[in-house]
Amino acid sequence: MSPDGKASQSGSAAVEAQRVTKIFGGGDDQVVALDDVSVQIGENEFFTLLGPSGCGKTTLLRLIAGFEHPTDGRILLGGEDISPLPPFQRPVNTVFQNYALFPHMTVGGNIGFGLEMLNKSKQEVDDAVTEMLRLVRMEELRNRRTSQLSGGQQQRVALARALAPKPRVLLLDEPLSALDLKLRKEMQIELKRLQNETGITFVFVTHDQEEALTMSDRIAVMKEGAILQIGAPRDIYDHPSDRFVAHFIGETNFLEAELLERKNGAAKVKFPSGAVLPASLPDAPISPGKVSVVVRPEHSRIATTKKDAVLSGTLENVVYFGTDTHFHFRLNDGAQFIVRMQNARDSGDDFTPGQELGIAVEADAVQVLRD
Amino acid sequence: MSTSVPETGATAAQSAERRAVRTRWLLVSPAVVIIGCVGILPLSIILLYSLLEPAEYAGVVWTFSPEAWMGLVLERDIFDDTLGLSSAHLTIYTRSILQALFTTVLTLIFGFPTAYFIATRPAKERNIWLFLVTIPFWTNLLIRTFAIMLIVRDEGLVNHALINIGLIEKPLAILYTDVAVAIGLVYAYLPFMVLPLYASMEKLDFRLVEAGYDLYANRRRVLRRVIVPLVKPGVIAGCILVFIPSIGAYVTPRLLGGGKNMMLGNLIANQFGTSRNWPLGSAMALALMGLVMIALVIYVRNVTAAGQKSHG
Ligand SMILES: Nc1ncnc2c1ncn2[C@@H]1O[C@H](COP(=O)(O)OP(=O)(O)OP(=O)(O)O)[C@@H](O)[C@H]1O
Ligand SMILES: [Mg+2]
């Protein structure tokens, strides 16, 4: 298992999946939706499951919520095995992807539903609904039918409904995917605020890497039913341990290099050009020899001196992006390489396609991938 | 010169509209003819008959009389000609209504889980289950009712089994009782409950059911607070589809109830047969229809109200 920061150190995680496997169907058309997944999610953490469609994100959420049962493994909540509990006995609430608001109830009726089912008094339910409506800033719409709400408003009601019973864990299955870009940005901020104010653990599912990077405390990157890497957004972005993770998150350059024998701790890689640079290693054991490494485009620049140049190639294309410029290179060994540099005031178009140029790479920017 | 252009435009539009109207009438005319011939015309005749006097040997005498409508619930004493409540008719009405209500409730109790079961099967399997539900329709009701007679009669399957396992010693008298009629009605009308229930459950968004479970509602509460309100149109449609035909059922009470446990349908049929009172039969038929209409109006009101609640 990957080292995953604070959760593994603190005694009991808010939610924990222990070697969970989920297989749907049987015989020839069985689908392994989750394959031996282990993860610990800490109290009060904003934890994101990130991965492409069909990688098992929803399945993991549904296992935590209790709508599905693991084929193998256990789900723990606050250190206790909740496997035998049906969904209505788990202190976990879900914000469904399509919101799933009750069409036959008002906004207030929807938000109060959970507390009502917990047999709270009418007064308590009313007060909680009022508080929730204030929290999501929808006080005026209490008696509206849910069918008369806009997408963003429905989204807020769904959030308020799931938060009202003060669950230990809130599960959110791509809650923002149905919103347009502007609303989505607003709701991202809103969600962060709600999580801070309520102190509830959020398990958030998305396939949008930017959303994951901006919102999460930690991210688990998933692929085909397995978790490839868990870490803080910065870790995942700067030090992807896997080709898939590097590819899925942000733009990146893949290079071939040679991992040298380690001398007193620090790893070094040697590029075909002969340049040797320090490199970060993935958490998996890796032996010296041919390796793949990644360098983020913004961690490289066009070399000004011969000494700086780690790589060299032909400039093929220059794309201006306002705040920065992308330089597309064809390296001498045929690989593609993109350099991203911020546009300074005075930087002109000093570089023109066709030029032979050297590329410099920042210190600590080379990440070795496990293979 | 300048005014002629819009004028020709207008006349062209007018004649186009006239043509459209004519086409529309042409298209609806078959329906109008059929509804007129098989609906309005016979109904008018029945209405007319209900306002005439019965002839001695069937048929009607062409003199106006409200007697038939009064005869729905009243009867004239044979000796002194005074009017009194007709206990015979009232018994039959009460029995009909009770039987129909009982049938509706029982088909709902059996039909609801059945429809839910089918609606929660994988899409491929559902058609097979629906097909099984509709199999009884392939056989004539008369034959199916005879089959029930064979099952519930004194030497039938049910009594045989009960005696064999030692629960009873003498056969239970089921055939020719209200119980037999009730069994027959529930059996005959169960599909009419299952199908509309299924239709509305199939449209039910099961994520709402999950949302209910997620928000701490147990099975009973999810059923009461989420599923039932959402499939209410199907429940009402099923109840009406069962209640209406079972209140006027003819074959089932006739065969399974023997002569003693008559229902409205049999009573009406009798007026045109042995009782030779066509006007009374007509009045009863119309009264029953009126009842059905009222039920339908209530249904439509309910459904549109529910629709408005959830849509606009
Ligand atoms: N009830 C089910 N029966 C059979 N297969 C299922 C079922 N639910 C999910 N799967 C399969 O399990 C795999 C993982 O599905 P899951 O819904 O968890 O993916 P996801 O990561 O949420 O994808 P998306 O981003 O598209 O929502 C998929 O291959 C899917 O087809
Ligand atoms: Mg999903």
| pLDDT tens digits, one per residue of B172-181 | 888 898 999 9
Min Cα distance A366 → chain B (Å) is 46
In chain A, which stretches have pLDDT less than 50?
1-10
Please give the distance, rounded to the nearest whole angstrom, from the Cα atom of residue B118 to the centre of ligand 2: 26
Please report the pLDDT score of residue B198 as a whole number: 95
First to last CA, chain B: 51
Q: What is the pLDDT of residues B85-99, one digit of tens each?
A: 888 899 999 999 999
Q: Is A62 in the pocket of ligand 1 (CB under 6 A)?
A: no
Confidence at residue B279, expressed as pLDDT on a 0 to 100 scale: 93
The answer, yes or no, to whether any atom of ligand 1 lies below 6 A from the CB of A208, is: no
> For residues A62 and B122, what is the distance between their CA atoms, to the nearest angstrom?
19
Of A93, A104, A113, which is closest to B309 when you measure between CB atoms? A104
B230/A88 Cβ within 8 A: no
Comparing alpha-carbon positions, the chain B residue that sits nearest to A163 is: B215
Whole-model pTM?
A: 0.80
pLDDT of residue A262: 75
Q: Whose CA is nearest to atom 2 of ligand 1?
A: A24
* Two tokens, residue A92: 């976990």
pLDDT tens per residue, range B257-300? 887 888 999 999 999 988 889 999 999 999 999 988 887 888 77
Is the distance from the beta carbon of residue A97 to the nearest atom of ligand 1 less than 6 Å? no
Distances (CA, A) of A17 to A7, A36, A64, A193, A300: 12, 9, 8, 27, 39
> Which residue's C-alpha comes closest to atom 29 of ligand 1?
A54
Nearest CA in chain A to B207: A100
The answer to whether A365 and A296 are in contact (CB under 8 A) is yes
Residues linked to residue A294 through DSSP beta bridges, in sequence order: A254, A367
Mutation for testing the A interface, residue in B214, B221, B230 having most A CBs under 10 Å: B214
Please report residues of B whose CB lies closer than 8 A to that of A98: 207
Burial B69-82 (b: 16+ CB within 10 A, else e): bebbeebeeeeeee
Taking CA atoms, what residue in B is nearest to A102? B208
Is B310's CB within 8 Å of A114's CB? Answer: no
The answer, yes or no, to whether any atom of ligand 1 lies below 6 A from the CB of A368, is no
- The residue extents of the domains of chain B are 4-83, 86-311
- Cα(B268)–Cα(B262) distance, rounded to whole angstroms? 10
Instruction: Write out chain B residues lying below 8 Å of A87, CB-based.
Output: 210, 213-214
* B214/A145 touch (CB, cutoff 8 Å), yes or no: no
Q: Do A104 and B229 touch (CB under 8 A)?
A: yes
The structure tokens listed for A67 are 């709508």
Give every residue of chain B whose pLDDT is below 50, as ranges: 1-4, 310-312
pLDDT of residue B87: 87
- Number of Cβ within 10 Å of residue A292's Cβ equals 15
Smallest CA-to-CA distance from A46 within A191, A174, A177, A167 is with A191
What are residue A311's DSSP bridge partners? A359
The nearest alpha carbon in chain B to A64 belongs to B214
CA angle at A47 for the pair A16 and A285, rounded to the nearest 5° = 70
Pocket probe for ligand 1: among A21, A31, A98, the residue whose CB has the most ligand atoms within 8 Å is A31
Minimal Cβ distance to B207: which of A89, A100, A162: A100
Residue % of chain B over a pLDDT of 70: 94
Under an 8 A CB cutoff, do B213 and A161 touch? no
Ligand 1 binding pocket mutation candidate from A59, A62, A68, A248 (most atoms within 8 A of CB)? A59
Please report the pLDDT score of residue A59 as a whole number: 95
Hey, whose CA ends up nearest to atom 28 of ligand 1?
A: A54
Q: How far does the centroid of ligand 1 lie from the alpha carbon of residue A27, in Å?
A: 17
Q: Which fold has domain B86-311?
A: MetI-like fold (1.10.3720)
pLDDT at A338: 93
Indicate if ipTM > 0.85. Answer: no
Residue A167 has a pLDDT of: 95
Among chain A residues, the shortest Cα distance to B205 is held by: A100
Q: Kindly list the residues from chain A whose CB atom is less than 8 angstroms away from the CB atom of residue B221.
A: 117
- The 10 Å CB-count burial string (b at 16+, else e) for B141-173 is beebbeebbebbbeebebbeeeeeeeeeeebbe
**pLDDT attached to residue A177:** 85
Integer Cα distance of A107 and B248 in angstroms: 45
Q: Separation of B66 CA from ligand 2 center, angstroms? A: 71
Say yes or no: CB of residue A25 within 6 Å of ligand 1: yes
Atom of ligand 1 nearest to the CA of A56: 18
* The predicted structure's pLDDT at residue A162: 95
When CB atoms are compared, the residue of B214, B221, B312 closest to A93 is: B214
- Asked if A96 lies within 8 A of B216 by C-beta distance, the reply is no
Q: What distance in Å separates the CA atoms of residue A368 and residue A271, rounded to the nearest whole number?
A: 12
What pLDDT, on the 0 to 100 scale, is given for residue B167? Answer: 86
Q: How far is the CA of B84 from the centre of ligand 1 (A)?
A: 73
Q: Does A37 contact ligand 1 (Cβ within 6 A)?
A: no
Distance CA B248, CA A336 (A): 83
Helix (H, G, I), strand (E, B) or coil at A57: helix
pLDDT at A154: 93
Distances (CA, A) of B58 to B42, B70, B281, B287, B309: 18, 19, 11, 21, 53
Could you read off the pLDDT of A154-203 as tens digits, one per residue? Answer: 999 999 999 999 999 999 999 988 888 888 898 899 899 989 988 999 99
Ligand 1 binding pocket includes A55 (Cβ within 6 Å): yes
Cβ <8 Å between A100 and B208: yes
* Residues A176, A188 contacting (CB under 8 angstroms): yes
Domains, chain A: 13-238 (3.40.50.300), 251-368 (2.40.50.100)
